Amino acid sequence: MSGAMIRIEDVVKRYGAFTAVDGVSLEVPPGEIHGFLGPNGAGKTTTIRMIAGLLKPTSGRIAIDTFDLATEPVRAKQALGFIPDRPFLYEKLTAAEFLRFHGGLYAMEEKAIAQRAARLLEMFELTRWEGELIESFSHGMKQRLTLAAAFLHRPRAVLVDEPMVGLDPRGARLIKDVFRRMSAEGVAILMSTHTLEVAQEMCDRISIILGGKIIARGTVPELRAQAGGEDEHLTPVFLKLTGGGGFQEIDEGP
Amino acid sequence: MTTTIARPFPWLLTPVFLGVRNRARRRETGDGLRLAVFAGLGFFVAAALFAIVFWLSYKLDQYEELGDYLVRLGLSWLFLTFLSFLAFSALVTSLTTFFLSEDLRLLVAAPLDPDRLFYSRFAKAAAQAGWMVVAFLVPVLLGLGLSRCAGPLFYLVLPLTLLPFVLIPTALGALVTLVLVSTFPARRARDLLMLMGLLFAVALVLLLRVVQPERLLRVEALPDVTGFFATLQSPVTPFFPSFWAGELLFSALQGRIDELHLGALWTTALALVVLTRLAYGRHYFSAWSKAQEARKARFTRLRLLDGLALFLPVSAPSRQLLVKDLKVFLRDTAQWSQLLLLVALAVVYVYNFKVLDLDRIPYMSRVVRNAYAFVNLAMAAFVLSAVSVRFVFPAVSAEGPAFWIVRSAPVSMRSFLWSKFWTGLVPVLLLSTALTVASNEILGIAPFLKVVCGLAIVLMSFALVALAAAMGARHPRFSAENLTQVAGSYGGVAFMVLAVLFILVEIALLGWPSSIYLWSDYNRIPLTAVRLATMALCFAAAIALALYVFLHSMRDGVRALEDLG
């Protein structure tokens, strides 16, 4: 697919003798919400961190909006919005100051930052708190502020690592709505999550990673077919594909 | 499409300035006290440095050529000492600023031109590494300039000297850090740096002591003075920036500009910054990426501790807390390596008493000797407070975000805090008692005073360790990034203030009756019943105060932990 917003080609990441990501290839076209699933330690976060430009791949190529991350990192990152699983926020800044700084990092003009920040603070229900120090925010508020920062510069591709952790149902609903709206506007979203209901509800396509390799890819019905079952929900499909039978062990006494 | 505008590199430091401004606007409990104490201390140290240098330089000015020679030599030594401090400080700050800082996760993911990121981090590293050196140097150099009635040229040359003097070691430190992180995992590199820094500090303390500056005060040793200066002169090399800085300022002091050394300082500084920038441009991302990968560290299992702990007559939770605390301490290089510095200071402390030549004033020797016993007691107690604020005060905060484990476990806050107390008391008591007993033995004080001081330091150890543990429980900082930060917090400063007050009251309560006893013993005058009763009352008050501080602190600490929201 030539018009992919996020494109990963045969990416490998080795830590000494251990291969964390083993030849992963992936494409997310504009407007698609792509789920990135896998059990703990499968290589999801390593892949996400390589796409965000935080880790150097051992080999392979990553491009954002056709810009190669290795040769044109500034232009590639300019097109990307990144929402990490453990976001860093300057605790002694206010929400408005943080957004202003974030906009500056993405080389936005002051006036554009002010207009866009006001709009996003309202969208993420943070307008009341814009003058408060981030250290006084709850987890959900910090999560929403991170999302506002990621969308501030109007990215054409968004990378999300575990967006729903610690959010209440209202916050989760809000984020789902925002992702859908962004996707409708043509933003490509690559979302890593453990919440299979969210993936099933929101993602157009899903890639499942296990042992550093993509073992399945497709829409939910396609994955269901690959797993060879008739299950309506994604959870049993995921468990069949990733061999997660050991989940019951904790309930079974000696 | 939004218009983009790349801001100059200092803009990337705005969170630092905004953070400071916001913190100043929204004062937290104790910020005022901390500011007052630190500002007062800072002002006092600066004023003392200024006064000493002003007086010394003024006196030396009377010796014409010899005076000038000594000022020149002094400047070289001053800058050499600060250069070595800067070099190690730059290594540690470079590692933190370029590789370990939390905000790098945000900045590296942003579309920033590598030059802007480099220069902003470099400026931050230079400021962090250099501020303390500059803060010490400025009053010293101002004292020198004013005592010599230096012209405006001296004050113009001052910043032109200090800036490249800070930039050179910072650039070198950043380069070495890049090589270290590219070679070792970041965690090992940090441990190596910590250890090197501490060994350096230990070596410096011992070196300064071995040089024996007190020889200058001995009139009968005058022929040795030439040899003393010869010792000082040998390490001063014309290839070091410290020498260039010293020469440049010495010339400016005499109203001349030393173009050669000014040029040497600035060209070296700029060349090194450019070289470092090139190296970072080429290798930074690989090194940063490597620093993110290396999360595993080698460590010692310390199984012996588990075995030894079984013999302790304490409950299972207390035993596990003790073993956990010791393992965490011994596996953290930043923690245990400070013991090296402590050992060096203890050696110097005892050595200082050994070289104290009180027999030079024979008619006063006995009085001074016994008065020194109380100076010694006060100093040992101050050392004890400093050690307690560094190691015992942060004990509760050290639980960090893992404190929920203790809180949700069936462990009472009482046994938790007492476990922290005993873990802190044993090493602190051993250190303070050993220091006091050894130095009193060397001083050769009256046996009566030996007993009084020995008992006093034991009582004070119990009281001060309890106070530190309790204040740490009353003002915990579970979210602090490191334990040094905890020691410098409001609670830490408040502890130091209370500790100093406690020590002064104790010394007064013990010193007065002891002096009465020694005076009557020396003059062979029997003590009256009233005197004896007053003396007993003072001793009893000293013991009661120490016991009160000890027991009340522990009760208060337990209550504070139980009241935690």
Sort strands A33-37 and A188-192 into parallel, antiparallel or unpaired. Answer: parallel
pLDDT at B105 over 80: yes
Tell me the pLDDT tens digit for each residue of A203-252: 999 999 988 999 989 998 888 888 776 666 777 777 777 776 544 343 33
Q: Which tokens is B35 given?
A: 């500011």
- Minimal Cα distance from A15: which residue of B? B293
Q: Is the pLDDT of residue B90 over 70?
A: yes
pLDDT score of B544 more than 50: yes
Q: Which residues of A179-204 are buried (b: 16+ CB within 10 A; e: fewer)?
A: beebbeeebbbbbbbebbebbbebbe
* Residue contact B108–A53, C-beta within 8 A: yes
Mean pLDDT, residues B1-10 taken together: 70
Total length of chain B: 565
Q: Which of A54, A74, A76 sits opposite B105 (nearest CB)?
A: A54
pLDDT recorded at residue B339:
75
Closest by CA position to A147, among listed A118, A170, A169, A179? A179
* Chain B CB within 8 Å of residue A239 CB: no
Best mutation target among B1, B2, B25, B182 (most A Cβ atoms within 10 Å) is B2
Radius of gyration of chain A from its Cα atoms, rounded to whole angstroms: 19
**CB–CB of B105 and A73 under 8 A?**
no
Nearest C-alpha neighbor of A127 from the set A113, A112, A141:
A141
Contact B110 A109 (CB under 8 A): no
Q: What are the pLDDT digits (tens) for A133-186?
A: 898 898 888 989 999 999 999 999 999 988 777 778 888 888 889 899 999 999
Query: Which of B11, B16, B20, B22 to mutate to test binding with chain A, by most A CBs within 10 Å of its CB?
Result: B22
Q: Are B284 and B178 in contact (CB under 8 A)?
A: yes
Out of B62-66, B134-138, B279-283, the most confident range is B279-283
Query: For chain A, first and last CA: distance in Å?
Result: 52
State whether B293 and A94 contact (CB < 8 Å). Answer: no
**Which of A215, A217, A214, A158 is CA-nearest to residue A10?**
A214
Number of H helices, E strands in chain A: 9, 10
Name the residue among A40, A8, A47 with its Cα closest to residue A238: A40
- Say what the ipTM of the complex is: 0.80
pLDDT at position B248 is 93
Q: What is the pLDDT of residues B451-509, one digit of tens each?
A: 999 999 999 999 999 999 999 999 998 877 677 778 878 888 889 889 989 999 999 99
Please name the residue ranges forming H helices in A156-233: 169-184, 196-202, 220-227
**Helix (H, G, I), strand (E, B), or coil: what is residue A210?**
strand
What sections of A109-217 are H helices per DSSP? 110-123, 139-151, 169-184, 196-202
Question: Average of pLDDT values for A104-121?
Answer: 91
- What average pLDDT is seen over chain B? 82
The per-residue pLDDT for A156 is: 94
β-strand A157-161 against A213-218: which pairing, if any? unpaired
> Does residue B197 come out as left (phi exceeding 0), alpha (psi in the -120 to 50 range) or beta?
alpha
Q: Which of B73, B72, B170 is nearest to B125 (CA)?
A: B170
Hey, which residues 48-77 in chain A have their CB within 8 Å of chain B?
A: 49, 52-56, 73-77
- Most distant CA pair in chain A, distance: 65
Q: What distance in Å separates the CA atoms of residue A229 and residue A237, rounded to the nearest whole number?
A: 7
Residue with tokens 């543990």: B469
Chain A residues with CB under 8 Å of B477 CB are none
User: Alpha-carbon distance A100 to A93, whole Å?
Assistant: 10
